[in-house]
Structure formats: C-alpha cells, structure tokens
Structure 1
Amino acid sequence: MITHVEIFDQHAKNYDQWYERPFGSSTFSLEVACLKRVISPFSSSLEVGVGSGRFAQALGIPYGMDSSIELLKLARQRGVFGVLGRVEALPFRSSSFDLVLMVVSVCFFEEPLRAFKEAHRVLKNDRYLALGLVLSDSPWANFYKEKAKRGHPIYSHARFYSFAEISSILAQAGFRIEKVCTTLFEEPQDKEPVKNQEIREGFWREGGFFCVGAKKINR
C-alpha cells in the first residue's frame, strides 16, 4: 500500500500550486491571519509538517520538518531550513524552541499523541504549540471526506479529529489550551475566492479552519 509520504512526494508541486488558485490563495491569507491570533511572540520556532513552507515563510518561522523530501525542496526555496524526519521522533534537542507550529498536518499524523509529546519535549518551559486544523465537527470535514471517497490522493489519507479529541490529546501530552479562534464561515467549496473574512474568538463548529494556542505545562 502506498504511504501518505509517497503521496506527498508524488503530488508535491500540485499540492503547492493549490495555494496559487483563487480559493487557495484567499484561504491562505485568511488562515495566516487566524494563526497570528493564537501565536505569542517568539524568537526560536519550528513548523512540524512544514510542507512547501508557505506558512513558515508567512509567519517568519525559519525551521521546518517534514517527512516528504519533495515538499522540503520547495520549502527551502522559500528560505525555510528544512529537515527530513518523523513527527513522532523530532530530530531536535529538548527545550530548543519558543514555538512549534502544526498547520493542516495533524490529520496526516499516524500517532498524534506521540507527535504532541515530541512538540512538548522540544519546547522550552511555558512556551507554545500552535495548531491550524480542519476539525470533524465542521461541515468542511465532510466536504473533504467526500473528496476522499471519490479517490482524492491526499484527502484519502486524512483523518479528522473533533475539538474534544484534540483537546484531550493535548492534555495527555502536557498542554493547556489558552486560545482558540475560528474562521472560514462559508459553505464548503474549493473553487471561488473566500468572501467572508471574519475571524471569531473561540470554537465555532460552523467554521472551516480552527486555530489553537496551547501552552506547555511543566511536569
């Protein structure tokens, strides 16, 4: 069976070019604005599941890790220092970063709890993990699940979690959620530019993109 890593290697350019299309471009800017609402000031930072580096570049994050070498090549072209590795065993020293970011990547993790525990390990005390997610509570998750049923090569490998599930996994990994924001309050589609630019504080299940800021709890 082909793995999701092989899928991303094969479709790296198409995945990246999605952000150049009308819907992808408008969604990206909105998602970046939402993420900024939950990210505290930082000096050292890492994006786990950095992909092609668009979010890292936009948010000023210099380091990225991904399991796809082809996506890392694109990230490096954007000035992101990319490292090949696994989210369950980050190739970084403990207490190295002020911020760890994960954007639309948790749904592809084989073991989210181990990934969050690794984020906890590489974060300095009292620092933050920031997540950008599509949650199963949202109608957008159903939209992407339908694409998976029709054989979409990337969404076929995605597993969406509820807000309650993410909250529980974060707590088990040693994090306390401190801020949540929601955006993308439109009917699910992926062709036309996003018109509604609203970002709301808190968890709103009718939204499509959820940003979570979680603080590392010292053990």
Structure 2
Amino acid sequence: MSNPFESYVTEYDKWYDSEKGKIIYENEAKCIQKFLGSCKDRILEVGVGTGRFAVLSKNVTGVDKAFSPLKIAKLRGIPVARAKAEVLPFRDKTFSCVMFIVTLPFVENVFLALNEAKRVLKDNGSIIVGEIFLDSYLGKLYEEKKRQGHPFYRFATFYHFTEFQEILSQCCLKTEKVFGTLKNFSFQNPEPEEPEEIDIKNFEELPGFVCMEIKKW
C-alpha cells in the first residue's frame, strides 16, 4: 500500500502557501509556539514531513518514515533522518523537547511511539502534541473524510480527548497545559485567531486544533 505522504508530497507542501493554508498554518503555529519557548536545548520533531513546523524553532532535528518529504525538509535547513516513530535512532535522554504535530493518528502503534518519545526525552523535558480530536467539529469532519476514503485520512486513527488522556496515562505521561485554535474554523473562509487556553476538565467542544504540553510522571 503506497504512502500518501510520498505520493502527494508536492501538493501537501504547496497547500501551506495557499491563501487559506497560510492563515490556518499561522493559527496552528501560534498555538505550538506557546510551548516552544520552554525548549531550551535540542528538539526532535517526529513525523516532521516537509518541515513546515520544524522551522518554528532552532536546533530541531526531524524524523519521518516517508522519504520524499524529508528531502524538502532538508532544503529548509533541518537535519533529518528516515525513521519510524516506534524506533527512534537516538540515545536515551537526548532531547529537551519532542514534537508530534498531527502525527500520532498515522503511526502504527501510538503506545510505542509515545514510549520512544519518553525514552529520548530528558528528565525535565516536554512532549508537545498538536492534534485534531473527535471532540471538535474539525475532528468529526476528518473522520467523515476517512470514511469516504480520503487519500490521507483513510489511514488515520483519530481519538477522543479523554481516550488520548488514557493512552498518555498508560505511558506514564500527563498533560500539563493545553491551548487551542481554529475555534471558529471554516475551510472556505479561515480567519486569524489567537490561541486560547483550554480547561481540560470542563469543555463542551474542543477547537479544531489542540496543542498540549506533556510531561513524564
């Protein structure tokens, strides 16, 4: 089965330069940057793709199982390696921060991926997860696209927020803080937004894009 991130890499990357893609990207980037300031040392992005989010900070190394996106990320000046999230080619406690930006729905084993991130993370480091959950309008939309056989999303496993928290708990990880954006989301007319902090114990519906800081127990 072909990897859509290999087959459609040019279309995927060009979307970020489209009029709508730029606005959505900037909203997501501002949300991610809420946590990047605390990453003072080396950062690893797992599922780096073409490097659109890795360029938000210095000292970022990227890994991805798809080869074609890595070539573009490398042109953006990002050190890259081809590797699966479940088997990272790095020593224990190498990075101050590990990022997964809409990557975990596409990994083969989310538990192995998170435990590998925990292994290469320094003791006081952070895992930054940017995700789309089924508790949001956007998550429901992506789930419908999956059912319709969308070339990207048909391979994805989207989670409810509470389900993901249970996965973290089983990996001895805990959520420290959460921000969200794309609250008033529209593919047709996206608008610039500022990220808002989310009370994870009291929400009715999540924004379309959620970014969280996760720590080891």
Q: State TM-score, norm by structure 2.
A: 0.92
1:78 CA drift (Å): 0.7
Q: Does 1:215 find its partner at 2:212?
A: no
Aligned-partner Cα distance in 2 for 1:120–1:30? 27
| Per-residue CA distance 1:93-122 (angstroms, 9 max, x = gap) | 111000000101111111111100000000
| Paired amino acid for 1:54 | R
- Structure 2, gaps ≥5 residues long: none
For residue 178 of structure 1, what is the aligned residue in structure 2?
Answer: 176
Aligned-partner Cα distance in 1 for 2:173–2:134? 21
| Per-residue CA distance 1:122-164 (angstroms, 9 max, x = gap) | 0011211000000011110121222233332111111111111
The match for 2:19 among 13, 18, 22 is 22
- Give me the CA root mean square deviation: 1.5
For residue 195 of structure 1, what is the aligned residue in structure 2?
Answer: 191
Aligned-partner Cα distance in 1 for 2:25–2:192? 13
Aligned length: 212
Aligned-partner Cα distance in 1 for 2:153–2:51? 19
| Paired amino acid for 2:193 | Q
Aligned-partner Cα distance in 2 for 1:144–1:36? 24
Map 1:97-136 to 2 at 5 A.
97-136=95-134
Map 1:125-164 to 2 at 5 A.
125-164=123-162
1:33 CA drift (Å): 0.6
Contact in 1 for aligned 2:30/2:194 (Cα 8 Å): no
Aligned-partner Cα distance in 2 for 1:180–1:195? 21
| Paired amino acid for 1:215 | K
1:18 CA drift (Å): 1.3
Aligned-partner Cα distance in 2 for 1:164–1:41? 26
The match for 1:45 among 43, 46, 65 is 43
Aligned-partner Cα distance in 2 for 1:209–1:155? 16
1:196 CA drift (Å): 4.8
| Paired amino acid for 1:190 | F
Aligned-partner Cα distance in 1 for 2:57–2:159? 25
